[in-house]
Amino acid sequence: MIACQDLTLRIGARTLISGASFEARSGEFVAVLGANGVGKTTLLRTLAGVRAPDGGRALLNGRDLSSFSHGERARLAAHITGDDLFLDRLLVRDVVSMGRYPHHRWWQWQQEARDDAAVAHALHAVRMETLADRRFDTLSSGERQRVWIALALAQEAPLLLLDEPTSHLDVRVSREILQLLRAQVRTGKTVICALHDLNEAAEYADRILLLGCAELLKFAPPHDALTPDLLERAYGIRMEVITTPSGVLRVYPAAEQPQLSS
């Protein structure tokens, strides 16, 4: 679906990632992890074609991202950042309808039956159809995240790129958002999202893309990527990794490891 070859990313004189190569497959949930400032957002912007690599190549379906027009990229990859700027007075339905722009010529915009159907399907998928006529600025944080995901679904792109979709959400709402994303993976979409919570990534991701030390430390399933040594290199503190009796992987700072009853 999307691949990087010897990818290098820089911000000014600082190198974020150097010589990274990886490939995310169709129908896969990839969690991008790493400390603040390590380059997670920059990587997502590069995979979306919003910024060019500073070295190496980013490929979408085997084709260099730089060769796509803006419209072509938008039909293949939905890049969701959760930026609420200028959306306060829009209705939920109008925000989701923005996902249909890539399917129209800029001089021919007129909503058609297929657009109405795509928007309705997207709102239903995130269980927001009853709030379609509410103003966006009246929604809770969790509801806004659902609207952003609905926008991506209305775009009908096979690749979803999300930057911290569970930040500032409570545990219940975070789980609902991640379960929603997993449901999209089951339909064949590829989800790549930056997360802060290691345990969310361990539970929901098929593979972890772990960044740190100006490199890609590991791209592997959670049990292989979330090891104490790799996590210490990524975050600079000692971690304990345990598997609960139910088989769920859990990660804690070493001093906070819970005692599991037998």
In the chain, the domains with their CATH numbers are 2-256 (3.40.50.300)
pLDDT band at 125 (very low <50, low <70, confident <90, very high): confident
**pLDDT at residue number 108:** 57
- Distance between CA atoms of residues 146 and 96, nearest Å: 10
**pLDDT at residue number 6:** 96
Measured between its terminal Cα atoms, the distance across the chain in Å is: 43
Strand order in the sheet with 2-11: 14-24, 2-11, 55-60, 63-64
- Distance between CA atoms of residues 161 and 60, nearest Å: 13
pTM score above 0.95: no
Q: What is the pLDDT of residues 11-38, one digit of tens each?
A: 989 999 999 999 999 999 999 999 999 9
Spell out where the chain has E strands: 2-11, 14-24, 29-33, 55-60, 63-64, 77-80, 159-163, 190-194, 207-212, 215-220, 239-243, 249-253
pLDDT of 107 > 70? The answer is no
pLDDT band at 196 (very low <50, low <70, confident <90, very high): very high
Out of 113-117, 196-200, 258-262, least confident range: 258-262
Which residues, in sequence order, are bridge partners of residue 128? none
- Distance between CA atoms of residues 53 and 204, nearest Å: 28
Angle between helices 141-154 and 171-186 (to 10 degrees): 10
Q: Which residue has the higher pLDDT, 152 or 195?
A: 195
Q: Region 33-59: what's the mean pLDDT?
A: 93
Share of the chain above pLDDT 70, in %: 90
Share of the chain above pLDDT 90, in %: 53
Secondary structure letter of residue 38 according to DSSP: S
Q: What is the pLDDT of residues 211-257, one digit of tens each?
A: 998 999 999 999 999 999 999 999 999 999 999 888 889 998 987 55
pLDDT band at 110 (very low <50, low <70, confident <90, very high): low
**pLDDT at residue number 111:** 64
Q: At 251, list the tokens.
A: 């990660």
- Distance between CA atoms of residues 189 and 181, nearest Å: 9
**pLDDT at residue number 16:** 94
How many Cα atoms occupy the beta-carbon half-sphere of 212 within 13 Å? Answer: 20
Strands 159-163, 190-194: pairing kind: parallel
